[in-house]
Structure 1
């Protein structure tokens, strides 16, 4: 059995669990066969056909956890947003995609991206090693060129990406999923400044961060079981909330990006007619900004 790296690697596994659950729905909104591979690698076994996924920490495939169903809603709803914008950018001619803090993202495998697209997956070596082991064991093959790049997202991307073949003279799509909320505002600014320096006009970015900070009252903390409380503390304790004090359009504009689409997970679900968990749907609830931007000339 493989061991998932600690910290953000654990949240990557929870995202994969939510995506694996989506595949079990009668009418799944997206397919991610790799997600179940990661769950099986950590659980030690793959469930038989029709059986629920094994419980992993707060993740449970039986609908019994309000906390987990709220997490799952967020993970799956944002997946649809990112998928849509990756496919749109590639259809428009972008041939370089950089996934920062890639975790267990498998868009290079599951979106049918053409062979002339290069997806650079940037994360810590431990996460990428785990990912490689699981994908190789299950015979997963990307449809495009995939470059796994062990690098510190906050410690200088220019050198590693150049060495890996990124051409900053050509447009790039930057996918920054589930990452900015782990940075302070200063670090988030520094990362976007470097991303901007590597982005030719016409480059695109798709990302997210929370509307406000989380409080225990948001999730009915007293009613959580011990594993749920532990998971909640793990997540909230890691959040620095990034550029939360600014709306996405203002933050992007301050770094020479034109905001394109700015929405939230709740708004996306509302437009689809999807049920929204109380954690995100009741009056005064927190939400997750989802946004895109286009690089403009300085």
Structure 2
């Protein structure tokens, strides 16, 4: 269960979800019709040594009938395309909020003079940096880790790392929002707005309001009891719903629009269709929830 000021490494609590995402990206990368390729993800899974995810990479057949690998391909592709589009428009600062084991600074073809800031918990970034150094990986941009808790004064840490608020920036908020308390959720968007000069861009997978989070938790309890996915939970023994906050929070698309951002959105089902990666058939409740999760891009 979560608590105020809690922290984590890569093999516990919220950190373990970052490891799970890396494992799912690694499996997606091996698919014949993979939407993305992440050759770095297996390094992190192997270095962490967490048994469930190392076994998953050794034999991913248990995931074949689950939506999570295909979903992770769609999600990763969405944010890859966002950053490449922002870079093509001339943006040379990128900030990856809650970067986890994201390897975009190494995977994507960034234009010269691009700086990629990775904001996350100190232990997570320490683990990540160690693994990348052991493999002598070289980023394709000026990568700058920013070790700070998002519930703290992360803008100060970001600026100390060289972020220039006078220049446009591309922000990503990927797979994060349910893990933030409502106050931190709202402060995140306020700070991004304050730090964004005209020409800045933002991409978010918006999980929805507090009621949507509560519905997800209820459905996980109902369907993740071995009946829907052949007796397998892709997260192993980790109950991700126990890491979520379901308190009140602002509605990001409405909030951004009120402050002058131009916002566009697509549902999970629409995005899957766009990338020709349809989700398997699931109970109607899942389809309904998928329409509530909206993928946003915004420009200031």
- TM-score higher than 0.5 here? yes
Deviation at 1:106, TM superposition (A): 0.7
In structure 1, stretches of 5+ residues that fail to align are 46-52
Instruction: Look up the match of 1:222.
Output: 225
The alignment status of 1:203 with 2:203, answered yes or no, reads: no
Distance 2:55 2:83 in 1: 31
1:166-220 C-alpha deviation (Å, 9 max, x unpaired):
1101101111111112123332111111111111011111111224221444562
The alignment status of 1:55 with 2:55, answered yes or no, reads: yes
Distance 1:232 1:210 in 2: 23
Distance 1:43 1:190, change over 3 A: same
* Two-structure CA RMSD over aligned residues (Å): 2.9
Distance 2:202 2:86 in 1: 10
Match of 2:74 among 77, 81, 85: 77
The alignment status of 1:178 with 2:183, answered yes or no, reads: no
Distance 1:283 1:39 in 2: 29
Distance 2:163 2:283 in 1: 38
Runs (4+) of structure 1 moved beyond 4 Å? 224-227, 229-233, 241-245, 279-284
Instruction: Look up the match of 2:45.
Output: 39
Query: What secondary structure, in the 3-state scheme, does the structure 1 residue paired with 2:118 have?
Result: strand
Query: What secondary structure, in the 3-state scheme, does the structure 1 residue paired with 2:140 have?
Result: coil
Bigger shift: 17-26 or 276-285? Answer: 276-285
Could you tell me the TM-score, scaled by structure 1's length?
A: 0.84
Instruction: Look up the match of 1:23.
Output: 29
Query: How many residues get paired?
Result: 281
In structure 2, stretches of 5+ residues that fail to align are 1-8
Asked if structure 1 preserves the Cα contact closer than 8 Å seen for 2:98 and 2:119, the reply is yes
Could you tell me the TM-score, scaled by structure 2's length?
A: 0.83
- The aligned runs of 1:118-267 (5 Å cut-off) are 118-211=115-208, 212-213=212-213, 214-217=216-219, 220-223=223-226, 228=233, 231=236, 234-240=239-245, 246=251, 248-259=252-263, 261-267=264-270
Asked if structure 2 preserves the Cα contact closer than 8 Å seen for 1:96 and 1:118, the reply is yes
Distance 1:124 1:183 in 2: 13
1:263-293 C-alpha deviation (Å, 9 max, x unpaired):
1222111233323134587674322321111
Deviation at 1:226, TM superposition (A): 8.3
